[in-house]
Amino acid sequence: MDRINADYMLAIEEPFMKVPLEQLKRTVRQSQKHAERETAQVGAALGDLAKRDGALGAQEVDQALDGLIDRLKTLKRKLETAHHEEAQLIQRSKQRAMDLSELEGFESAAQPEFQRWCRARLDRVLVDYMLRSGNVETARRLAAGSGQEHFADTALFELVMDTERELCERHSCQGALQWCAENRSALLKIQSPLEFELRLQEFIEMARAARTLDAIAYAKRHLTPWSATQLPRIERAMMLLAFSPATQCPPYRAMFSEARWAGLAADFRAVIFRLFSLPPQPLLHLLLQTGLSALKTPACVSDDPAEHSRDCPVCQGETLGRLAQDLPLSHHVHSNLVCRITGERMNEDNPPMRLPNGHVYSLAALTDMAAKLGGGRIKCPRTNQLFAIADAKKLFVS
Ligand SMILES: [Zn+2]
């Protein structure tokens, strides 16, 4: 019972390790690309200068060289910033790995150090939940208060929320398109149509504003490169130019719909989560579902509310029960008898008692009820019939 299965426990922590590593990969790749591009361009410009040697005056050469030196200085500054960012990400990964590896050192679940580790884990899972639900400041405070700052991917979630706001509130695709440009090769790898959807939205806005010529030019430039996979949708989009935004024709009404913005925001979140190996649902839900799946029985999903137990979290349809909706029923080798009145287990110490009407409750519940009602009387809570406690028959659990 006290044994710790570190592998199972760490499975849920995987995103915490993947996010900084993915960020690191991106930062390194971006600065590498940038450095290669800049040095190649400076090299080409130098070659050009050498070729035109003699044709240019000393002042012109000086100016050209100064320009190139400035360019290299800017590159150096950018690389220094990137280097600082990379060092932070490495440090963050290291701290996370060290915290998580502590788990291997615990021998028993009863150890106070293990309890502390679990408490910290709960905090970081709550931080993840708050960041996902947009409560960044609360998440930041909780992370700081419990020494879990290095587990809070605040910048990533802020990027998600800023972009979502820009899409939903300001109806602008600019930030999202910029992000797509920076992550084009990763998006290609997962064959994500996100950039196409954003481009399509910009086209739709031009059609809405009756800027037909602009829309056609935009489509030629930004939609046709997607013809291989999106041709039918591009064709339909072009038809949009013949319709007014007030059209009731279903496919075009859907394209003009404001709801598309919320859809784009959801797509953006889903894609960024996928690239960073973040599960779509909060880690807190995953943890809770693990526990709930062990408790879910056929009685929990019964249509008869009388079958539900007030002490079973799965039976609470409005709260935890909702999280358990899609979970399979647990496999119970041994069944537990639970008293419908007290929610306690019935066993040899608190045996099940059968009333003359056939309903069964625990001895403790009936004794308690008889003391309250007086005169050795008990009342069946399901039928409201009155009986003498002496008429209740003890049942034997085999
Ligand atoms: Zn239940």
Residues 267 and 160 in one domain: yes
Residues 265 and 293 in one domain: no
Distance between Cα 314 and ligand 1 center (Å)? 5
What confidence score (pLDDT) does residue 1 get? 53
Distance between Cα 12 and ligand 1 center (Å)? 25
Distance between Cα 369 and ligand 1 center (Å)? 24
Residues 7 and 91 in one domain: yes
Which CA distances in Å does 314 have to 295, 299, 371? 7, 10, 32
Distance between Cα 286 and ligand 1 center (Å)? 19
Residues 271 and 311 in one domain: no
Is 141 inside a domain boundary?
Answer: no
What confidence score (pLDDT) does residue 398 get? 61
Q: How many domains does the chain have?
A: 4
What confidence score (pLDDT) does residue 344 get? 85
Is 302 inside a domain boundary?
Answer: yes
Distance between Cα 306 and ligand 1 center (Å)? 11
Distance between Cα 299 and ligand 1 center (Å)? 6
What confidence score (pLDDT) does residue 200 get? 98
Cα–Cα distance, 167 to 383 (Å, whole number): 57
Distance between Cα 385 and ligand 1 center (Å)? 26
Is 112 inside a domain boundary?
Answer: no
Last residue of a domain, one of 333, 353, 375: 333
CB 229 within 8 A of CB 193: yes
All residue ranges of the chain with pLDDT < 50 are none
Distance between Cα 336 and ligand 1 center (Å)? 12
Distance between Cα 178 and ligand 1 center (Å)? 48
- Domain assignment of residue 13, given as a range: 1-106
Distance between Cα 345 and ligand 1 center (Å)? 13
Cα–Cα distance, 124 to 273 (Å, whole number): 17
Beta pairing partners, 379: 386
**Nearest partner of 201 among 262, 291, 126, 273, judged by Cα:** 262
Distance between Cα 295 and ligand 1 center (Å)? 7
Neighbours of ion ligand 1 (CB under 5 A): 300, 312, 314-315
Cα–Cα distance, 147 to 64 (Å, whole number): 52
